[in-house]
Every structure is written in structure tokens, then in C-alpha cells.
Structure 1
Amino acid sequence: MSLRLLFILLSVTMLFGNIRAQNPADAEASLDYYLPQNVSYNETIPTPKEVLGTAPGKWHVRHDQLVRYMYALAEASDRVTLHEFGKTYENRPLLYLTITSPGNQSNIEQIREDHLALTDPEQSSGLDIADMPVVLYMGYSIHGDESSGSNASMLVAYHLAAAQGSEIQQQLENSVILLDPSLNPDGLNRFASWANTHKSKNLVADPNSMELNQRWPSGRTNHYWFDLNRDWMLVQHPTSQGRIDNFHHWKPNILTDHHEMGTDATFFFQPGIQSRTHPITPDKNQSLTKSIAEYHAEKLDDQQRLYYSEESFDDFYYGKGSTYPDVNGGIGILFEQASSRGHAQESIHGILKFPFTIKNQFLSSLSTLEAAQDLRTDILNYQRSFFIDSKEAGADASINAYVFGTPYDKARTHHFLEMLKRHRVEVYKLSENLEADDESFEAGSAYVVPTNQKQYKFVKALFERRTSFTDSLFYDVSTWTMPYAFNLPFAEIEGAVTMGEEVEGVPPLPEGEVIGGKSNYAYIFEWDEYYAPRALYRLLKEGVRAKVTAKPFEMQTPSGSKKFDYGSVMVPLGPQSTGQADIHQLIQEAAEKDGLTIYAVGSGLTSSGLDLGSRNFENLELPVVAILSGEGSSSYEVGEAWHLLDQRYNMQATLFPQDRIGYADLDRYNVIVMVNGSYGDLSEGGVESLKRWVRNGGTLITTKYANRWAKQQELANIQFKEEEQDTTEVMPKPYADMDNSRGAQYIGGSIFHTKLDLTHPLGYGYNDDDLTVFRNSTLFLEKADNPYATPLYYTEEPLASGYISEENLEQLENTAAIIVSDVGRGRVISMVDNPNFRAFWFGTNKLFMNAIFFGQTIDGSSGN
């Protein structure tokens, strides 16, 4: 055999051997499979197997193992430092690694300060970026059951810490990598436990396997079952708050966000669908994303991986990890890997093994780093120009400032202010009273956000009301106008506005006060404040009797004459078994911790309206709440209700398994919540038990599609508005347009105006009958026949912000948002929308809490 023929045969053998090695079914959980073959590694740096006893991909890594390995790596390598920045709800540590050259590590604070100066339009023009490192934030597995990312993070960290040669040295010299190995530790751990518990010694790839089919609520979410990849802008959870602080501590140039998708898919990297990119995002951002994408393609081509881009996913909602950087001077990149969901699963491409998915996440991490090296100056210049352009656009904007705030609820105003400051937005106190856009703003309770600041683009994204779009499809919500979410009056100021001192940092929750000190007759507080339910629950739980007024009144207080509105709460001192000193202590606690202004009064005689002994003061019971949970209910919306009661209001709430409802003692509860869901698996006996419970005086709260179930069971006297049949001739349409045409009828998330009855118990504590609500369904309710049974309904022109088709808008006009039905001595409160959406829709939380606390007080004759 000639040498030439032998060479050809060897080449072919090596080629086909290489192809077999890339087959998903041939993937192996070993460093030889994962790591580049042309790189040597420092043997003093521990591998994952040396620390954990197993290579990534053999088992799903637990979070404690991940933490242990990262600590071992930081201890062994002078390229790595480790930072803990908080704890999860389940008390797991949040951490990230700073990885760069040893020389950079010794000067890391100066590098950080120089990098931040690049984002300051007052300093950046004079900075020399020739030797400035590019900053990358690599974040893995924010969805806990998309765990190939976190498992790959060990390999990425090892490679960066241990790889040898001039290439890695140059990369580390020119880069600072912030590596976050687990964006969702609680979810990751929950999923690892499931997958490992059900793993067989002989891998089972059958998609019917229990290993590949998690039970409700799955490992995707955090402890309270929130999707943390929707919380980057909302920052309602400790993981997000710490992470956003890290983001602004460094202002990374590139942020990678590693996910998984369906098993039969391939691999996705951004850019996404261009027509759905948010218009505030600069074109340069997308062109750089495309340039970076070429490096992913080259890396995956070399490994014979299938992939795609500019499909399926978009860059519109700024609350995701891959889009938040786009409005903050960086470049966010989403990676979506086909998921094995366990250790192996059948797919249309053959058996998809877990190590194969891990390697793709590893490869795209390396391709990102390579792109950052070659495009470093372009990326740094883009960051500099972004903030210069942002500040100039703000200075030239027709709107000079936004003003917001209300004197009626310090907490809602505070939490919006808190959100702004977490994102490093400049905010100032309003120094003089102001009238604007038919709203009144008072100095001391209102704030000003000037547009002439470097965060202008982000500010505009938070405050804008957008109703026109280039595309009618959205991967997530189509709007998020933040003052609407907090139900705060706000105005766009085109002229000058007098600003006071700047708000520095995240301020504490303002305290209230007890006016009049210790009372010998009664304490009264209004229901306006966001945390009034927390104060009332604390009182009732301690056995203190309290009443709520169904009518307004006016009386003398230690600070003068005071009008008390519908829903004001009175704590009388006469009919109590709790001592007056203990009650006063609880009252002081409510003022200090809950921000309430509480009045100590010395007489039951009022100057106008009802007196304090009137029968229009309704006795209140301690709410004992059960939330139906499990298969058939939305884990997101169960979690939102649970989080609201547990975290915000310090209330006990039972997560009630649906299969227990037929034999459990329901009489121990007086409120049961059924969030969005089907509930078709409830037993016949369970349904009868629930009906009996309502008839005996229980309050049942149903939201969204749970209302269909309640109607079918004849619990809710409601009528759905059905779309009128179109009698016009159906014209043929292009098959290629089918998905877009159907998708345009979906309400992915928009904001609408409703009208609220402020005299109704569900309207207690509100001061404006125009309430903006969030909707993400096409469920339409007719108004009730009883004129008093629809305390909340959509207006004639309801659209406030976001996308809705003309057909759906017409359907929505003048429909009901809440209907109350009488069932024996009980009530069914049907809410067509979710009042607790993503924990940031503060403005409608009170509707939900009013249903819990005051549902029992609704007059039976007012129900439908």
C-alpha cells in the first residue's frame, strides 16, 4: 500500500471517527470529551471529578457540589477570586467568580473603576481603551431544570483557571470574566434531586420515563415558583437584587444567558427575530450581536452541531437576562440548547445525552470569549457611545422629566423608588407642589426622574406608554409601564420642574406614626397603605378584635379634624380580651414596620357620619387561607399568591393539595384561593365538599381560567362574552402567514384601564376609581345582572399600553373585571385577571387582599 493511499485511509478514518464522536448518542461524561484536545492544563488545578468524585454529566450537579467546586478552584488558582453576594430563599449562597490574569487580579479595583468610567459621559471621551479589558458576565441555568448550563459552568471555570498557552494568557489579559455558575440555586437543586433520584444504572431514554417527566411545580422556578428570567428589571427577589447590584458594580460588555428548550430542537443563539427587537435598543447592539454570532457558528460548525438564529426568540422585554444588558450599554446573548431533561432522552436526532448538551454550552462560552477578544475595541467603543447617546437623547427629549408619587400610600411609592435606585436611575425629591396631566403631586411624597441622565434609555423603557408596534407577536409581555404597575399617579413634564435633593442609594421603607400616643378608647387607621393588611393580620392573629367601616365619617383626632374613608379599620379597646398595653405595642409596631399613620381617639362620637359603635362597622375575622395547589393549577400563579401572603404580609397560607379536598376538614379555612387552572381532576366528592363549604359562609376567590371551572360547577354566577361569528366569506391566506395571524390574537401581556367602585369592600383603600390592570388572557366576562355585583370593569376605551388586536379590544370594552356571586351564606369572587402578576403589580395586590379580608363583609344582596 502506497504512503499516499495510507494517508488517505487514515484521514477518512479520523474524519468518520470525529463524526461519530459528535453524535449525541456517543457523548461521554469525561474531560476528554468536553475539553479542546490541543490545550494542555495545569495539573495543580483540581478538575471537577477530583473535587466531586464524578465528571460533569454523569449526574446532575447539586448546588452544594457546585459551590464546593468553585471554592476549590478559587483556592487553587491565582486567576480566580470568589464572591458571595447573598442568599436564596432556601438559604443557599449566591456567588460568582472573577476570572482574569494574575496581573489583572492584583489591580482589579482600578480596572473596574476605569471600566465604569467608560459608562460616564463626563469622563469616557478621554479614556484610552487600547489596553482596557472587556468585561463578560457568564450566567448559567436561571431555569433550574435547564441544568446543562450550570453543569457546563464547572468546565468553563476549570478551562479558564487551568488552560495553558499563549492564547488563554492573552484572553485573560484582555478580559475580566464574571462567572455566575447558578442563577437559580433553589430550582437547580430541586431538579437535580428529581433527575438523580429517578436515574437508572442503565440509562433509560424513553420519554415516558419518570426521570424525564417532573411533577408539579418542576425545577424551572425559584422557591416561590417564580420565573427568575422575568425578574431582571422587576428585581423582586433576593437573587435578582444581588445580581443586578453585581451588574452595575461592573457594567459588563457582554452577558451570556444559557438555557434549554425542547428535546427535538437543536441549538439557538442570538440575534433573535429582528422585527421584535425593542425600538430603544440601538442598531449597533444587534450588528455586534450578529458579529459575535459568527464565532458561535464557526465553533459549532467545527463540531458538526446543528443550530439556528434569528427565529423563535426576540429581544423585546427588557426583564430577561439576554435583553436587560441591551438597555444598559451591554450586549445580551441568549443560548437555547435542546434538553435531555434527564440523563438521556430519545429525540428526532437520535438519543440525546446529557453530556452532549453540556458540551454545547461549553463551546458557546468559549466562542463568546473568542469573539470578545477579536471585537474588544468595537464592543468597548459601543459601550462608551451608548451612554453618551443616551444622555444626549435625554437632553434633547421633548419630555424633561417624569414625576410620580402619592401621599396616600408611602409604601407603593417607596417600592417604585426602590426599583429605580436598584437600576442606578437618578431620582430627586419634588421640592414644590405640582399640577400636571390632571394629577396633583405634593412635595414630600413625590419624586422627579429627569430625562437628562445617562440612564435615559432605561428610564424611557420604564415610563413609556407604547401602543404601536412593528410586529404583533411577542415572546413575553408587550408592555410594562411601571407607574401603572404600582398604581401611582405620574406625569410627563415638558417644562421646568423644581427638584430637591437627589435620592442616594436604596432608601428604607418610611415609618408611620401613632398620633395621640396611647389611647383609652380606640385606634383607627385607614386602609390606603400597602402594608395595612400586614398590620391587621398581626392584630387579629394576637386575638385583638377589629372592625372595618362600610361608610365614611369625620371626627376629631389629636391632630385635628380627620375624614376617614371607606375601609378604615378601628380597634376598639372596650370589647377586648387582650390587654391595652399589648394592643398599644402592636399599634406602635404597625406604625414602625408597616408605615401606617394610626390615630388614637378618646371618644366614639364623631362630628359627621356614623359613630364608632354603628352597625356599619363590620366585625373582622382572622383570615385562614388555603391555596389549591398541584397539577391543574398554574404553579406561577400559586407561587405569586403564596409569596405575597408569606413574604409581603407575613400571613400563614396553606398550599392545599387538590387530591385532599374530598376528605380534609375545609371548615378550618374561611378563604380558599383557586388561581388560573383547569381543576378538571377534582373528585366529585371534593367538588361537593367545596360547594358545601362556600354555602356555609366561605369566601372562594377564583382567578382567570379557574372561573370557567367555577361556572361549570354552578358556583359562580357569571357569563362569558363569546366572540360574534364572522359571517363574511373566508378568503384563502398564505400558509406561511398562519402562525403570525393566529398569534396576533393572543394577548401576551398588556395594560388596561378599569373603573373601580370605591365604596365596595373590594375597593377599600383605593383613592382613584381609574385602576390600571395587567391582562394576559382572552377571557371576557359580561357584567353581572345585579348592578352591585361588578365592582371592577373595563372602560369604553380601555387600552393604556401594550398590544391588543382590534378584535380583542372590541371584545374587552365594558366587560367585567371582577364579579361577586352569592352562594348560600358564602361568596365567590371571580377575578378575570391575575392581581399578583410577577410580584411587581403592586397596584392590584390590594384587590386580592381586600377579597381575603373583606369578602365576608360583602352584603349578600349585592352578589350576582
Structure 2
Amino acid sequence: MKLTKPVFLLFFLFIISSAVQAQDYFFKDQAPFNKAIPTPEEFLGYPIGEQHTRHDQIVAYFYKLAEISDRAQIEVYGKTHENRKLVMLTVSSKENLSNLGTLKNEHLQFVNPDLNPKNYDKVPIFIQLGYNVHGNEPSSSEAALLTAYTLVASTNAEVLNYLNKSVIFIDPAINPDGRDRHTQWANQFKAKSLVSDNIDAEHNEAWPRGRSNHYWFDLNRDWLLAVHPESQGKLKWLHDWYPNVVTDFHEMGTNSNHFFEPMKPIGSLDPIMPKENYEDLNNLFATYFSSALDKIGSFYYTKESFDGTYPGYGSSYPDLQGGLALLFEQASSRGHVQDTDYGKITFAFTIRNQYTSGFATIKAAVENKAFLRKYQQTFFKTAMTQKAKTGFAGYEFGDDYDMNRNKAFVSQLLTHKIKVYKKGEKYVVPLKQPQHRMVQTMFETYRQYSDSVYYDASAWSVANFYNMKYKGLKSVKLGTEITTTKDLVNNPKIQRARYAYIIDWDDYNSPAVLYYMQAKGLTVASAFKPFSILTTSGKKSFNYGSLLIPISKQKKSEAEVYQIVLEAQTKYNVPIFGTNSGYSIKGIDLGSNNFRALSKPKVAMLIGEGINSLEAGEVWHLLDTRVDMPITKIRMASFRRANLDKYNTLVMVSGSYTELDSVQRQKLKDWAAKGNTIVSIAGGAKWLIDKKMVKESLTKKPKSKEETGTKRLPYVDAGEYAGRDRVGGIILEVDLDLTHPLGFGYRTAKMPVYKNNMVFLAPSKSPYATVAKYSKNPHIDGYITQKNLDVFIKPSASLLVSPIGRGRAVLFADNPNFRGAWYGTNKLFLNALFFGNKF
């Protein structure tokens, strides 16, 4: 996870010699072992801790265990973007595995609020050990190898007891793509004479580093948003099994020690998670962790950092499914051995702490299985009986113009097993259901908190991510339950026309349709004013941005044009209309100059050292997976030799851009001045202003006569005070100019945006260039100080356009693509790409 400040406790001071590196260092207390089961060292050809193990080797070892042992079974629950297998090794006694289907059914009775089983201590406890969600935090996957071997091969009475009383699911690497990126780096820079110098290349990966997945996303933030196949597969598995305990193993700064829960108190004033979870259960398990780590002399800490406020971590999401999610943070060697303030830390040492904590988890779960089962049962029963403090019985939602965005949101709800019903043209979600707390997570917003410093976001009302219009209901009338989104969007097949085809720009998939048609060679125009016209389906009104495909102006035949339009509709399922006349009933005619032909976007993005890989990955993912548009990723080191004339749009996310000296900045400015577009996000927008590439400014705090000096505060609170002023992740309302091309496709001026930065843009001096400004009362969700709200947010703009010669820069103060989940603001960004040279 995120690097933390050093915890200056007595640390470890030794390098493990080659003799100690023998596997007894890890699991000698678990002997004796079945010699027919190969150790990880025997299978891999090197001791654990001597080399970083590739993901395919880990998977191969797990397959070998399942092949030769009646204590293990393996399944593939998904694949990564790079087509690596996501595997789960199930380990238990022979008897339990042969009867696993029956045990699963008995276990699931405890999560069914309609049933009332009492055999809490009879059914084995279900434990899921999850490892390596951050690829360059590798010690836990190595510990997974040791844990699997111990459980499969040990004949120790204590281990046999665990197997009899539990079913243990081992996920060795939640992020295989990131892990292998880091593994390759660490192994290729490893020397025969190990180098512990912190500055050595082995300990400092190149951009984008191995923390993230293929598209550079942080998968530990994706449990709630479920954007990626890794998370989608894991959530499907979790909702199939509902484990009682789930672990989440991480690494932190090299100078730290080892962290286990309890965390900092949850920041929410009224957490939706039961108090028994984060107090009773965490404190109970902590005694097991401390005892195990005391035994091997490892130092640790609790309560001082991290929090479970955001429900989308691996260490928080399972808490909302009646389980106990547990976070472990181990000081990282970031390689094989590295210097610390207290000596040297080795890879093997980090692995042993993770392995030890894993077995302490198993021990605690087995010895408290009746308590855990009763807790999970109560969790789901109270979901059906407790009343929301809002007084609502449920929520109604639905967008009247964008069926594919509706579908995406419904799909999101179904992913989390939330019950959704269709009633008329709207959707209804009742609170009285087993996923009551997940419904709260999706819809409720908060403005009051018990804490002001968060490890991550303090706002996550997912309905706002989708710009979904919704309202709370005092009473709920259910319609037809929606169990699949397969046929949720049904657009009539486009009829062949002689004159033109028209496509609403309202639909989320319309940019993908536009690019598809442009790539196939069609000329497409956009309506800069609304109109109504008689279509082959009857009278229809079209909004700003609607697409026009004039048949007679194409270089293709009428039949070819129809085939391309039909293919686009079939692929992206958007409403398309034909017309046999250019004469409108109301508004502009189809021959009006207010229809403007659109150029096909040719987009590049600067990436590399100093660039925010998360924001860059969000752009890449959006274009690659939802718009099917290629984007050239230019490394900063290659910018000098890049021919920018090949592109008409350049994306600049947050970053330092230190490699762009005055000569390169002029190159960029000259390119834009030719009529091209720079699209900047957050820190990228600030960079354009700071380097005077545009004539805009940042909002500054006004000087006050009352400010006569600095208020004296306790030093111990310095970190907390600094954290309070940070905007870590909030949802704000903006007022959008719907007539500006950047606002095309939206029907209401008020909309939510996501802010997780300290970039505040002053409104433009041009009366037409402030496309979105924060509304009078902009705060929707999340923690923000009153000072930041009044002094910086309220006077500022969220979205500006600034001229650069014949070209322009689009400046987003907020991130329209945050974590791949902001369906509601994606179109603002896509409008900048498709309409950039039209304003």
C-alpha cells in the first residue's frame, strides 16, 4: 500500500545467512512433513526468499499440490488483462474436501436471513487468504507458497486440527500482471553479491512500477467499483462463498515494521459497518497476531495508521459481507536486501512475518469459529430489520436519455448482489434486502465525520459516479426484479434511409459509435443547435451534439453507409434514426452551418517518469476498452524526437513534466497554435498555467487583515493538521454550460464531479470559456474543510478552455475519469477529444 513514515521502534538487525535461508527458517515449528509433497524450494530450485517467484511458477506449484494431494483442490476464477490465470487453492482435510458441496450449502445458510441455523461450531470456518494485490509488494505471494505447502504437507497435530475445522482458500496473487512486472525488475537487477544500497536500481523500479495492473490501476481500490476482470472475478467468487475471514497482505516503507489491525478509527460519523466488526473482532484477533510475532521477535504496531472508511479495499469490502477483513502491512525490502535505519532488511524476513501472520489468522479463526458464524448470521439478519437513519425505504433512479449508462449502473448493483427492480421507466432498489449496507454505500452521501484525515477517499456514493438521477423513497413498491442486464437496452434496428442517419449524443456509447464510423471512412457532423425532424420512426427531437451522417456526401455507396451504421448500432447498442428529408419540424435543418463536420481524433498522451500513472492509466483504459480508440503513449524520454504533427490531440494528466525544457515547451506550444488541442487534467492543467502556456490563473487565498501571525499548535498534531487541509477525495456539484461542445450530451446543468487534488482554477476572463463552475452550494459528499470550500472551491472553475494561437487547451481541475468508474463525467473528457477543434 502507500508508503508510510518510518515507525522508529527497535527493529531487526541481521542478514539471514545462506544456512538460515533454509526453509526451516519459516516453518520448522510445523513439522513433521509428508516427504511425498515437494517443498517450494524443491519445486522451484531455490529457497524462498532467494529469488522473486514468477506468477506462472506459483500457479504451477499450486497445480502440483492439487494433483498429488487429497488436501488440495484448485480452480481458475478469472483471467487478467494480460491473460494470466487467477487461481484459488482450496485446502482442508480429505473428508471436508470430499464433502465440500454439502459444507458450502450449510455455510451459506448462515448468510440467508430467512433461515436460522444454530450449528455455529459444527460447520468448518471458511477462511480466504488473499495476497499481492499490489504487484510490487511481493513478500505475501512467497508466503502463500509456504502456507500452501505447510497446510498440504504438515502432519503436525495443530495443522491437522486447522484442516479439520476450516476450509482455507488461498489466492496467491490478486494482481499477477503487476507482480510479474516487479518480479522481472527485481530479478534482473539482482547481483550475486547482494546490494543493499537504497539507491541501487534493484530497489527503484522504472515507471509505471509494479504496484498497479495492466492499465496502471490500483486494484486495492477496485473492490467496490469492479472495473477490472481481476476484481470482477474475485467479487463473483466472494459472493459465491461468503468467507468468514479474509486477509489482505501488503507492504509499506522500508523503515517501518509490521502493522496489523485494529486500524485508526473509521472516519465516518455513523459507520455502516457493525461496531462489533472493527472493535470486538479486530481486538480479539490482534491478541493472536501479537503473540505469534512476539514469538519470533518481530516488531509491530497497530491503531496509528490506515483506516477502513472507504469500502472498496480488500481489507474493508468483505466486512460489508458479514466477514472479518484483516489488513497486514509489512516493511518492504523492495528487492532482496536493503539498508534501513536499524540495519538491513531481507526479503526472507519480510516473507516470514507475512507467513506468521497468515497462520495466526487461521488459528484465531478456528478457535473462534462459532463466534464468527454467529456474527455473520446476525449481520445479514439485521440487514433485513434495521432502518436507515435517512428514513428512506429505498431508492428510485434512472436516466431518461442514456439507456447504456442506466445499464452500466444496474450492472454495478448486480455485481454486488443488490436486488434491483424495474417499475415503469425507472428502477427501484429497496433497503430491506440482505445487501442493505451495500445499498447505503451506493446511494447515501455524508457531510459530517468523526475524523478529518483519511487514508483514501471520503466520498464514494457510486450513484453520483454515474451522474445518476435518484431519489430516496419513504415507501417502496417493487416491480419486476432485474437479474441480468442482457436485454436491458433494446433499440429498434435502424431502417434504411435515403437522405441521412442521426444519432443522439446522449448515450454513453455514442462516442464509440462515432469513432467506429470515422474509422470506417464515414464523414460525420455534429449539431451545434437542437432540432426536431421526421425520422423513419416518427417525429424525434435531437439535442446539442447529435450526430449527422449525410448519405449523399459520403465517398461510399448508400448500401455501404447503411451497413457501417448498422454494424455500429449492433456493436454498441445505441438508438439510431434515419430520415428521408433534410427539412426540420423545428430548429436547424440538416443543411445548416450549425452542423459541423468532425475530424477523427488522433490522440497521444505523455507518460513516464514524473507522470501520474493512475490518471494516465484511466485515460488509456477508457479509450482502449470503451471507445475502442487507439492512443499513442509517448514516454517523456521520447518527446524530443516525437513528430507531434501526426496527432491533433495531446493528453497531459497530472505530472511534473521536468523533461520539457523551454525548447520542448515551445515545441508543444507551436504545435497547439496550429489548431491542435491539449487536454489537461488536474496537475496537468496547473502545469500549463505555471509554465505560462495559457493565460489563465489559479485561485489564490485572499489576504486578510486579521492574519497577523501564525497560530501556535502542538507539534504532535502537525500531521493531522496538514491532512485536514488536503482534498483527498470528495464529490462536488458544478454548473455546466450545456450549449458548449464540452457540455454536449448532457441534459441538466447541475452534475457531480470528483475532486482529489488541490488544483483550483480561477474562472476565465472570457465570458464563454468557463464551461463548468462549482455551484453556489457545491458540496455533495466527502470531507472538506470550510476554508477550502469557501476560499478555494466556491470561487473556482471546474472546466476551462483557453486559446493557444489557433488551437486551445482544455483544463480539467477535476478528474473526469477517476478510477475508471466516473461514467457521469467521461463524456466531458471525450467531448474534448472529438470536438476539440470546433470551439
How does the TM-score come out when normalised to structure 1? 0.93
Instruction: Single out whichever of 312-321 and 407-416 deviates more from structure 2.
Output: 407-416
Are the aligned partners of 2:608 and 2:636 in contact in 1 as well (CA < 8 Å)?
A: yes
Are the aligned partners of 2:738 and 2:749 in contact in 1 as well (CA < 8 Å)?
A: yes
Letter in 2 for 1:848: F
CA distance in 2, matches of 1:697, 1:426: 50
Aligned-pair CA distance for 1:729: 4.0
CA distance in 2, matches of 1:428, 1:312: 41
Instruction: Single out whichever of 728-737 and 703-712 deviates more from structure 2.
Output: 728-737
Q: 2:312 aligns with which of 301, 314, 319?
A: 319
Instruction: Single out whichever of 204-213 and 384-393 deviates more from structure 2.
Output: 384-393
1:44-193 counterparts in 2 under 5 A? Answer: 44-123=36-115, 125-193=116-184
- Does residue 455 of structure 1 match 2:435? yes
Q: 1:513 aligns with which of 492, 504, 517?
A: 492
Letter in 2 for 1:152: A
Match of 2:654 in 1: 676
CA distance in 2, matches of 1:582, 1:189: 46
Q: Deviations over 1:641-670 (max 9, x none)?
A: 000000111000011112222222111100
Query: Alignment partner of 2:620: what SS?
Result: helix
Query: Alignment partner of 1:373: what SS?
Result: helix
Q: Deviations over 1:536-585 (max 9, x none)?
A: 00100111100001111111112222111110000011111123223212
Change (3 A) 1:621 1:82: same
Change (3 A) 1:756 1:525: same
Letter in 2 for 1:110: T
CA distance in 2, matches of 1:126, 1:118: 7
Match of 2:679 in 1: 701
Q: Deviations over 1:254-297 (max 9, x none)?
A: 10000000000000001101253671111111211111111010
Match of 2:24 in 1: 32
CA distance in 1, matches of 2:561, 2:32: 71
Match of 2:626 in 1: 648
- Does residue 756 of structure 1 match 2:736? yes
CA distance in 2, matches of 1:613, 1:848: 28
Are the aligned partners of 1:267 and 1:337 in contact in 2 as well (CA < 8 Å)?
A: yes
Match of 1:220 in 2: 211
Q: 2:640 aligns with which of 650, 654, 662?
A: 662
Match of 1:851 in 2: 832
Q: Deviations over 1:807-834 (max 9, x none)?
A: 0000210311111111111111011111
- Does residue 523 of structure 1 match 2:501? yes
Match of 2:7 in 1: none
Query: Alignment partner of 1:662: what SS?
Result: helix
Q: 1:712 aligns with which of 690, 704, 712?
A: 690
Are the aligned partners of 1:402 and 1:493 in contact in 2 as well (CA < 8 Å)?
A: yes
Letter in 2 for 1:512: N
Q: 1:814 aligns with which of 795, 815, 826?
A: 795
- Does residue 303 of structure 1 match 2:283? no
Query: Alignment partner of 2:773: what SS?
Result: strand
Are the aligned partners of 1:146 and 1:341 in contact in 2 as well (CA < 8 Å)?
A: yes
Q: 1:414 aligns with which of 384, 407, 416?
A: 407
Query: Alignment partner of 1:512: what SS?
Result: coil
1:509-658 counterparts in 2 under 5 A? Answer: 510-515=489-494, 517-658=495-636
1:414-433 counterparts in 2 under 5 A? Answer: 414-430=407-423
Aligned-pair CA distance for 1:22: 8.3
Match of 1:261 in 2: 252
Match of 1:8 in 2: none
Q: Deviations over 1:616-651 (max 9, x none)?
A: 111111101001101121000000000000011100
Query: Alignment partner of 2:641: what SS?
Result: coil
Are the aligned partners of 2:11 and 2:257 in contact in 1 as well (CA < 8 Å)?
A: no
CA distance in 1, matches of 2:563, 2:41: 57
Letter in 2 for 1:39: A
Q: Deviations over 1:197-243 (max 9, x none)?
A: 10000100000100101011000000000000000011000000000
Letter in 2 for 1:739: G
Query: Alignment partner of 1:791: what SS?
Result: strand
Letter in 2 for 1:251: Y
Letter in 1 for 2:294: D
Change (3 A) 1:827 1:20: closer
Letter in 2 for 1:276: G
1:834-849 counterparts in 2 under 5 A? Answer: 834-849=815-830
- Does residue 772 of structure 1 match 2:763? no
Change (3 A) 1:22 1:366: farther
CA distance in 2, matches of 1:832, 1:461: 26
CA distance in 2, matches of 1:817, 1:397: 30
Letter in 2 for 1:847: L
Aligned-pair CA distance for 1:765: 0.4
CA distance in 2, matches of 1:632, 1:400: 48
Match of 1:41 in 2: 33
- Does residue 501 of structure 1 match 2:452? no
Aligned-pair CA distance for 1:192: 0.3
Are the aligned partners of 2:497 and 2:536 in contact in 1 as well (CA < 8 Å)?
A: no
CA distance in 1, matches of 2:566, 2:160: 61
Match of 1:12 in 2: none
CA distance in 1, matches of 2:109, 2:96: 17
Q: Deviations over 1:494-549 (max 9, x none)?
A: 13x3321111245466243344x111111001100001010000100111100001
CA distance in 1, matches of 2:195, 2:485: 51
1:817-836 counterparts in 2 under 5 A? Answer: 817-836=798-817
CA distance in 2, matches of 1:852, 1:20: 52
Aligned-pair CA distance for 1:248: 0.8
Letter in 1 for 2:519: K
Query: Alignment partner of 2:770: what SS?
Result: coil
Are the aligned partners of 2:742 and 2:831 in contact in 1 as well (CA < 8 Å)?
A: yes
Are the aligned partners of 2:253 and 2:331 in contact in 1 as well (CA < 8 Å)?
A: yes
Q: 1:722 aligns with which of 700, 703, 717?
A: 700
Match of 2:782 in 1: 802
Change (3 A) 1:506 1:382: farther
Change (3 A) 1:29 1:600: farther
Q: Deviations over 1:161-218 (max 9, x none)?
A: 0010322121111101111000100000000000001000010000010010101100
Query: Alignment partner of 1:145: what SS?
Result: coil
CA distance in 1, matches of 2:390, 2:481: 21
CA distance in 1, matches of 2:491, 2:784: 41
- Does residue 402 of structure 1 match 2:395? yes
Are the aligned partners of 1:511 and 1:594 in contact in 2 as well (CA < 8 Å)?
A: no
Query: Alignment partner of 1:351: what SS?
Result: strand
Q: Deviations over 1:365-407 (max 9, x none)?
A: 0000010111111111110111111211148972111111112
What residue ranges of structure 1 are gaps of 5+ in the alignment?
Answer: 1-18, 431-442, 859-864
CA distance in 2, matches of 1:100, 1:25: 32
CA distance in 2, matches of 1:660, 1:629: 10
Query: Alignment partner of 2:640: what SS?
Result: coil
CA distance in 2, matches of 1:582, 1:184: 44
Aligned-pair CA distance for 1:127: 3.5
Instruction: Single out whichever of 161-170 and 355-364 deviates more from structure 2.
Output: 161-170
Q: Deviations over 1:279-322 (max 9, x none)?
A: 11111112111111110100000000000011111111000000
Are the aligned partners of 1:207 and 1:345 in contact in 2 as well (CA < 8 Å)?
A: yes
CA distance in 2, matches of 1:784, 1:111: 65
Are the aligned partners of 1:701 and 1:828 in contact in 2 as well (CA < 8 Å)?
A: yes
Change (3 A) 1:397 1:762: closer
Letter in 1 for 2:310: Y
Percent identity over paired residues: 40
- Does residue 292 of structure 1 match 2:285? yes
In the alignment of these two chains, the number of paired residues is 824
Letter in 2 for 1:844: T
1:349-428 counterparts in 2 under 5 A? Answer: 349-394=342-387, 398-428=391-421
Are the aligned partners of 1:487 and 1:843 in contact in 2 as well (CA < 8 Å)?
A: yes
